[in-house]
Structure formats: C-alpha cells, structure tokens
Structure 1
Amino acid sequence: VETTLEHLDGDRVRLTVAVAEDEFDVAVEAAFRKIAREVRLPGFRPGKAPRKILEARLGKTTGRQEALHDALPNYYSRALVEHDVDAIDSPEIEITGGQETGSLTFDAVVPVRPRATVAGHGSLRIEIPAPEATDEDVQEQLDALRRQHATLESVERPADDGDQVTIDIDGRLDDEPVEGLTTSGYLYEVGAGAVVPEIDENLRGASAGDVLEFEAAHPEEDGTLAFRITVSEVQARVLPEPDDDFAAQASEFDTFAELEADIRERITVLRRSQAGMMARDRAAQAVADLVDMDIPPALVEVEVDNRINDMAMRMRSQGFDLPTYLEATGGDLESIRDELREGAEVSARVDLGLRAVAEAEGLEADGEPLEKYLTLLAAQVGGEVEDLRTALTESGRMLEIRADLCKQAALDWVFERAEIVDEEGNPVNRSLLESPEPEIMVPGDGGPIPIADDEVGETGSSAAKPVDEEEE
C-alpha cells in the first residue's frame, strides 16, 4: 500500500492511497469466501462454492465491491497512521481506480484538528480559594454543630424562619384529602421549603392558636390544593454555648479550644487536597480563554463522544449499561448529548490551547515521558513494553498518547510560571499545592490493546471510519 498526503485549506488533508493488485486480490478472495457463506447455489454446501463459480453466477465486480466495503476502512486507517493524521471527522472517499480491475486507488479528504495560537500563556494569573481554613469556615462548621445539638423552647411570639411549629395540616385536591398532606401534630421547620412555598409564606408570622387557610398550585400535576393548617405551638432553637461543656457533649474533645483546632485542621487538610487539582484546572481554563477561534463542530462532537463513552464505562463498572439507564429514566441519547455539548466545547478549547502551548515551547512527548508511560501501562495491562509500543503504533493510538503527554507537559509548563493567588489577591504558597499523579488509562475507547498477532484495529475514533461504512 502506497500513500501520499496533501494539505488542503480549511484544516483538511487529502490522503491518496494506492493498493497493488495482488494485495487487493487478497481482499477480493476474502470477500468471495464471505459471499459463499451467504448465498445458496445448487450443488454446493454453504461456504464451499469456488470463486470462479461465484464470479460466473454473480459477476466479478460483486466480489470487488464487497472487498471495497470490507477492506477500504483498513487501508484508510493505515494511511492515517502512516502520516500521523489527527482526523476529527469521517472522510469523504472517492475511488479513483480499481472498481472493476487492476490496482485500487482512492482519495480520502478528511477534516483534521486545527492548530490554535495563544499569547500570554507564560504570565497567567490564577485565582483559587485559600488552601487553608479561614475563621469564617471554622465558625460555619461550629455553628452547624451547635445547631445539631440545639434544644427546642416554646416561645410566645410569631413564628419566623428556623422556628419549629407543631401543626395539624389538612391538604385537599378537589375536596379529597391528599396523602402525605393530611396529618396531626406534625413538627415543621418554618422556611424548610417543603411541598409548596405558600406553606412557609403563611406560617411566617403565625402564632400558636392561629388557623391558616390558603390555596396553592399542585407541584406535580394540574389542579389547586386547598390547605387548612392549625398552629398549636411555636418553638425556637436554643443553641448550646460554645464552651468546654458543649465540646465534651458534641465531640471527643474535653475543651472547646481543642474542638475548634480540630475543625480548623480538618478543613485545611481538605482545602489543600483540593487546591492542587483546582489550580491546575483553572490554569487549563486560563489557557483555553486565550484560544481566539471558533471550535469546529466536529471536534466538539468528538469530545461529546468521549464523554458518552466515559459515562457508559462508569455505568458498566456499576453493573448496568447506558440503554438500561435511558429506559429507566425515560431519557434519550440525543438529550444527553445536548446537555454535554457546552462542557465538551470547553474541553475542546482546552485541548487546542494546550497543544498550542506545547508547540510554541517545543515540548515533546518522546523520550523519558513516553517510556515511563509505556512502562506503567504495560504493567497495568500485562505485556511487554515493545509489544505494547508496536500495537499502539499500528492501531493509531500512539498519536493520542503523545498528544496527551504533550498537553500534560504544556499544563505543567504553564502552571510552573503562573501567578497563583487566593480570592483576596494574596500569593499562595506553592508547597501547599500537591500535583496529582496522572492516571494511566488505556488510550482510545478503553478497550483491550492487541499485544499479540491480533489484527490491526481501527484508531479508536469514529473519525477513522469512511462515511459509507456500515456497522457490522
């Protein structure tokens, strides 16, 4: 198979592929064996009719057309791999020779990932929450703990948000009691926002002994609910004093100072564990904001496909699949795609931005980064590094791996040079920002990597399939 590459305008390339007659005849022979299994000819068992008989009965072009359908995707994929073409959509195929006799030639015009440019990527300012507990954080947690241990005390005043009221409630639809809305002696927190907002609106300012009658639209179906609520008691929450007695009651500590210090430490540990990842995410977003170009819809759809595949993999790991989920929830795949599209466009912009940084700074994935990745991946999937390298290269997945490693290097480069501040504009101590270890994932569709004499598969992307290829 001989291939050439021509760059076209509009982020497209033309692959010209020529397959020698003897090699294409191997595909034609396989096509006739396939046809022999599918047709029924008098005097021959299924699959046993000779090629010459089939050619005489069905015509020589029948086998060639079947071979084109079956073998052309593989020839196209091999051309993609040979020239490291980063296709983002299905190609337009034009067969230019060999449909009836001789060697096969065809052209494939395919959109490729555009190349963005970025400016100012070496002097970004990144803002993250302070990676340590503030006094407000600690006070919020202490107040929440005090609310958990609060007591109720009857009060002789109108109810307000946060008060507990004991009520008899009678909710009716078309003069019929509604299950769950008719009960006596029910303890309700004013402002809880349960059922309908009109309940809270009427309870605010109500006192013990008040009878409230009002209507509200049914929240789940057509119709109007009629409510009658009798308030029998109003109780206020009484928070415990923030002292040593409270600390001993609510925690394992003997003093309030110890409890406060523990809460501060726990919040700080959590904040620091999140800070590194958040800072890197915001660095990536800052790079994306530098990409001043429209994102090709095809590239967005590739990102949507990736997210759908990730979702399906997570579901399979939990024991169910995407079709089952859609059936159970009454959803459809297109609606999910629509929901994912906005985030996918952001991811596509991040992708182009980091690739642009890598190109601008001469960052490469070959050498130690690639060898380390392959070694870890080989240990994960079970296999030899060289066998893995060969399989990944022949399947086209090595291009994706190199791109991911380059983007990781680009993000590291940007992150190391960025100014990182908290929300008050104060510099953040970088020693508190732990860099997460990148997860070693099987590239492409997450499927098994052929590491033996397995047949070379597709590139792991729908972009590798001709537009007229049908799913088997």
Structure 2
Amino acid sequence: MKSVVEPLEGNKVKVRIELEDAEFDSALDEAWVKIAKEARLPGFRQGKVPKQVVKSRVDAGYARGEAIQVAVPRAYDEAIRELEVDAIDQPDIELDEGAEEGPVVFTAIVEVRPELTIEGYGSLEVSIVNPHAGDDEVADQIDKLRTQFGELVDAERPVEDDDYVTLNLVGSRDGEEIAGMTAENYLYQVGSGGVVPELDTNLIGLENGETTTFEAADPAAPVESDDDADSDEPDAAEPPTITFEVEVLGVQERQLPDLTDEWVADATEFETVAELRDDFVEKLSAQQRERAQNEVRNELATALVDLVTEDVPEALVQSGAQEQLESMARTLSQSGIELGQYLQMTGQEPDAFRAQLTQEGERQAKVDLALRAVAADQGLKPTDDELDEELAHLAFHAEVDIEVARTNLASNGQMPALRADLAKRKAMDWLIDTATITDPSGAPVDPELLKLDPHDHGDDHGDHAGDEAATGDAPDTGQPVDADSADGDTDSSDPEAEA
C-alpha cells in the first residue's frame, strides 16, 4: 500500500491511497468466499456451493465491488495509523481508480484535530481550598468524638440550641388531638427540626415548667407546586395548620468528657491528646489535599477554556457529549436506573439535557486542545522512560506482558494517543508549577502538594473520571488510552454519534 497525506484548509487533510495488487487480491478472495456462503443455487445447499461454480454464475464486477467495500476502509485505517493522522471524524472517501479493473486508488478527506495557539496561560491565577487541615477543623472533629462519649446532665437555665428537653406535646386541629403529634415525656433535641421548625424557635428561652402555644403548618399536608402557586383560582384552599401546646418538663445539656491523656487512652487507640490530634491532622489533611488536587485541575481547566477563542470542531464537541452520555448511562445502570427514568426523576427535558451534554462536550474539547497547545509550546513530550512506565501500568491492569501491550497499542493505532495523553499530564503539572495558586485567605499554596501520582490523573484534563479510550479500527479520537487497548480488545467508536 502506498499512501501520502496532503493538508487542506479547515483542519482537514487529504489522504491518497493506492492498494498493492496482493492486498486487493486478498480482499477479492474474501468477497468470493462471502458470496459463496450466501449463494443459493439449484442442486447445492446454501454455503456449500464451490467457489468455481459461483464464479461461473456471478458477475465478476459484483465481486470486485464487494471487495472494494472491504479493502478501502481497511486500507484507510491502516494508512492513518502509519501516517499518524489525528482524525476526529469519519472520512469522505472517493474511489479514483480501479472500479472495474486495474490498481485500486482512492482519496479520503477527513477532519483532523486542530493545533491551537493560546496566550496568557503562563500567568493564570486560581484560588482553591487549603490543602492543610485547619485548627478549627481538627478541634471540631475531636469534639464530635467527645460527643459520642458525652452524658446528659440537668441544666438549671433557659433552653438553648442543642439542648435536650423533655416535653409534654399536644398537637390538635379544631380541638381534636392529632395522633403522631401528641406525646408525653418526649425527649427532644432543640434544633433538630424533628417535629416542625416552629417548635425549635418557640422552645428557645423557656425554662423548666414553662409552657407555650403556637401554630404551624401541617407537615403531612401536600406541598404546593409552582403551578398551584401561580394559580389565579380565588378559592384556593389555605394549607391546614396545627395548634401545638408544649410544656417543658426538664432541660439537659450534653456534657463532654475532659480532653485529657487519660480519657484518650481509655476511649481511643491512642495514648495522648497529642497523638490523637496528630492523627486527625493527618487524615483531614489527606482529605483536604485530595480535594485541593481536584480543585486546582478544575480551576485551571476552566481558566484554559476562557483562553480558547477559536471555535472547536463540532466532531470533537459531539464526541465529548457522547462520552458524557455513555459515562452517565453506565453509572446509572450500576444503580439499576435507566437514563429515561433518570430524566423523569429529575424533571429534565431531553432537549435541555442534550444541550447540557453538548455544552460539557465543548468544554472538554477546549481543555483538550488547550493542554495540547501548552505541551507543544513548552516542548513537553514524554520521555522513553515515562512511556515505558505508562505501558507497564497499562500492561499490569490488562494482565499482559509489556511488549504485548506495546504491540497491541501500536496495531490499534493508540500510541499517538498515549503520547498525547502523557504530554497533557505534563502540561497540567507545568501549569500547576507556573500558576499563582492561593487558598481562600490569599496565602500561596505549595504546588508540590498538588501533584498527583503519575497514574492518578483521572481529572487533570478537566474531564470526567472514567474516560475511556477509543480503541480498535476506528480513527483515533485522541481520548486517553486505557488498559483495554493494551490487551488487544477493540471497541469501534463513532465520533459523529449524537448525544
């Protein structure tokens, strides 16, 4: 096969491909085998007609046409893999020569991923959560632990928020007590909202032995919809109310144990308050750091999107939208929910939902192109060692040898996508090192705290965790490569599919 690529305007290229005689002859043999299997001739069972008999009965031009239908797409896929054409859409193929005889020559015009030039990416400023646990957060967690061991003690004072009060509660309507709204010696935590919100506000300030009466909407009454609220009907019924009579029989507060080494040793796995505090600091800081790592990537991705002034190809937008749709469908299916059910449950219209997917697909495409632009501008390319490390990671998850993974990725045309993915990771890390990153107080954040493990870059492109590679015989859409490509599995992906 001979192939040559020529750039065209509008992010397109023209690939001219000429098939070798041996290549087409192989496709022609396949066509005759297929025709023989499908042939119905008197005296022969279907699929048992000898090929020579079929050739004597079937026009050779028909077989040639069938062979061209097989050979041309196959040759196109092979050509764009060898030429590393970054195709993002389905090709427009035209047969130039060989329709009836002679060498088969065709041209394919296909849209490719554009190479953008963006400005201002070296001076980005973002604010993210503090990756360190604050003293107040640590103290709050320790207090929550102490609360589990607290005791209720009588409080000789008016009721305050979070107190536990013992009540006689009577709820009635038109003088009739309501079951479920009436109780004696009922222990209630002020502020919990466990009965009606008005109960909490009316209890504050009362003392032991005092009573109060108030009215509140019936919590069991149907909630008025927006349509009902906008109704002009003059006789719309008022929501029913309940009259509550409350008597305070006792006030208690939760008394926490003193924070001492003795209590820590008795109640926890640690021996001292310092050890307990250090453990909370370590755990909370790990959580905060993970949150900060995600936030900085999302914020930088958003900042990059603002720098992309060119329109992105519709094929990339729709590919991203379709990816979002498939990812959501998989997530919902794990909970036994179909996408249509989800839309009904959330009250979303299909058109609005589709528009939302398209918007996210456009954002995803802009982030991808912007990171590629940063990588190209800064000369950020994966080294051979980094490529081998990633291949080893993919091979491990695919449970194959690294050389098998390398061969499969190359044969599936995924090596350029793998290199691009690694380059985008390096671009994001470069931005983290270069950007001005502060916490909510305005203090600078150490970029080293925001770096991820090389194989934990699930969100570093601003995409969704769970991106899948487009593998197999379809043109590479430039999505991150996953382990499935390494074990030789193929999954043809149509970048024109609509959400």
Q: Give 1:58 shift.
A: 5.2
Q: Partner letter of residue 204 of structure 1? A: T
Q: 1:282 to 1:96 in 2, by over 3 A?
A: same
Q: Which moved more, 1:237-246 or 1:338-347?
A: 237-246
Contact 1:242 1:256 in 2 (8 A): no
Aligned to 2:9: 9
Q: 1:385 to 1:338 in 2, by over 3 A?
A: same
**1:185-224 maps to which residues of 2 (within 5 A)?**
192=192, 199-201=196-198, 204-205=201-202, 208=211, 210=213, 212=215, 214-215=217-218, 218-219=222-223
Aligned to 2:45: 45
Contact 1:152 1:237 in 2 (8 A): yes
Contact 1:167 1:229 in 2 (8 A): no
**1:418-429 maps to which residues of 2 (within 5 A)?**
418-429=435-446
Q: Give 1:99 shift.
A: 3.7
Instruction: Provide structure 1 residue ranges, at least 5 long, that are not aligned to the other structure.
Output: 316-320, 468-472
Aligned to 1:318: none
Aligned to 2:311: 294
Instruction: Provide structure 2 residue ranges, at least 5 long, that are not aligned to the other structure.
Output: 229-236, 458-466, 472-481
Q: Partner letter of residue 346 of structure 1? A: R
1:240 lines up with 2:256 in the alignment: yes
Q: Partner letter of residue 326 of structure 1? A: E
1:326 lines up with 2:330 in the alignment: no
Percent of aligned pairs with the same amino acid: 32
Task: State the alpha-carbon separation in 2 of the partners of residues 119 and 110 from structure 1.
Answer: 28
Q: 1:391 to 1:36 in 2, by over 3 A?
A: same
- For residues 279-332 of structure 1, what are the alpha-carbon distances to aligned partners after superposition, in whole Å with 9 as ceiling and x for unaligned? 4554444444432323333212322344455567778xxxxx579541794559
Q: 1:94 to 1:153 in 2, by over 3 A?
A: farther
**1:53-202 maps to which residues of 2 (within 5 A)?**
53-54=53-54, 57=57, 59-145=59-145, 148=148, 149=150, 151=152, 184=183, 192=192, 199-201=196-198
Q: Give 1:339 shift.
A: 5.2
Contact 1:165 1:231 in 2 (8 A): no
Task: State the alpha-carbon separation in 2 of the partners of residues 68 and 397 from structure 1.
Answer: 26
Task: State the alpha-carbon separation in 2 of the partners of residues 115 and 236 from structure 1.
Answer: 69
Q: Secondary structure at the match of 2:27?
A: helix
Q: Which moved more, 1:200-209 or 1:417-426?
A: 200-209
Q: Give 1:80 shift.
A: 1.6
Aligned to 1:408: 425
Q: Give 1:264 shift.
A: 3.7
Q: Partner letter of residue 116 of structure 1? A: L
Aligned to 1:391: 408
Task: State the alpha-carbon separation in 2 of the partners of residues 433 and 404 from structure 1.
Answer: 19
Task: State the alpha-carbon separation in 1 of the partners of residues 47 and 140 from structure 2.
Answer: 76
Q: Which moved more, 1:248-257 or 1:63-72?
A: 248-257
Task: State the alpha-carbon separation in 2 of the partners of residues 39 and 308 from structure 1.
Answer: 42
Provide the aligned length of Structure 1 versus Structure 2: 448
Equivalent of 1:304 in 321, 336, 340: 321
TM-score (norm 1): 0.74
Aligned to 1:470: none
- For residues 29-74 of structure 1, what are the alpha-carbon distances to aligned partners after superposition, in whole Å with 9 as ceiling and x for unaligned? 3123223323432212222224454456554444344334444332
- For residues 356-393 of structure 1, what are the alpha-carbon distances to aligned partners after superposition, in whole Å with 9 as ceiling and x for unaligned? 01111222235332233234434443445444333322
Q: Partner letter of residue 407 of structure 2? A: T
What is the root-mean-square deviation in Å for CA atoms of aligned residues? Answer: 4.5
Q: Partner letter of residue 33 of structure 2? A: R
Equivalent of 1:270 in 278, 281, 287: 287
Contact 1:31 1:66 in 2 (8 A): yes
Q: 1:78 to 1:262 in 2, by over 3 A?
A: closer
Contact 1:169 1:227 in 2 (8 A): no
Q: Secondary structure at the match of 2:77?
A: helix
